[in-house]
């Protein structure tokens, strides 16, 4: 089922998610819904918090579904290693229409669990590392806009506020 994606300013996006305690059918259904929602958006990553679900679950597919076997779904992910730096532009399904350059690690290793509770360790480099860090940020209550400083952040926030006032957000 495709679910609505919260947007910048919506309640819940800024709150940290809590760990999943039990790997049951509701978690598996959430993952399935997240994947369907991400592909329909279309996007390359989605965190459960973006759907208003305060659980530590993320899905990432940097091919946006174009290549079979690239989908990664992690429950209770945590960063165990990060290295390097990359400075690239990124966007967000919760901040549609806006992009900005954000500093991210160029390599990241996550430890988490698959949909059935089996432990997984996954390494991401370049765009996959960026996507992992972006989604982990969501689970921690941070959006890419929160990582910006100065005039770039102010411009995006003011434009969103203007869209909100006009009912177009």
DSSP designation for 61: -
Is 141 inside a domain boundary? Answer: yes
**What's the pTM value of the predicted model, to 2 decimals?**
0.96
pLDDT of 15 reads 94
To 5 degrees, how large is the angle CA 20–CA 4–CA 18? 20
Domain count for the chain: 1
Residue-number span of the structural domain to which 96 is assigned: 25-165
* pLDDT, mean of residues 107-121: 98
Residue among 80, 42, 75, 77 nearest 61 (CA): 42
Mean pLDDT of 107-117: 97
Residue 66 inside a domain? The answer is yes
Domain membership of residue 125 (yes or no) is: yes
- Mean pLDDT of the residues in the chain: 97
Residues 30, 33: Cα–Cα separation, whole Å:
5
Check if 81 is active-site: no
The CATH number of the domain holding residue 117 is 3.90.45.10
Residue 41: inside a domain, yes or no? Answer: yes
Q: Say what the pLDDT of residue 132 is.
A: 98
Active-site residue, from 78, 89, 123, 135: 135
Classified as helix, coil or strand, 14 is: coil
């Amino acid at each position: 089922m495709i679910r609505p994606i919260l947007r910048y300013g919506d309640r819940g996006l800024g709150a940290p998610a809590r760990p999943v305690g039990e790997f049951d059918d509701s978690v598996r259904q959430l993952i399935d819904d997240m994947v369907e929602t991400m592909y329909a958006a279309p996007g390359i990553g989605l965190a459960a918090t973006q759907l208003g679900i305060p659980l530590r679950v993320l899905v990432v597919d940097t091919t946006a579904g174009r290549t079979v076997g690239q989908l990664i779904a992690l429950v209770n992910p945590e960063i165990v290693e990060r290295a390097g730096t990359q400075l690239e532009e990124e966007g967000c399904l919760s901040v549609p229409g806006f992009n900005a350059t954000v500093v991210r690690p160029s390599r990241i290793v996550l430890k988490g669990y698959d949909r059935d509770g089996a432990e997984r360790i996954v390494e991401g480099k370049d765009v996959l590392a960026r996507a992992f860090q972006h989604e982990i940020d969501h689970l921690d209550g941070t959006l890419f806009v929160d990582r910006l400083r100065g005039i770039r952040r102010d411009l995006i926030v003011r434009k969103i506020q203007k869209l909100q006032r006009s009912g177009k957000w």
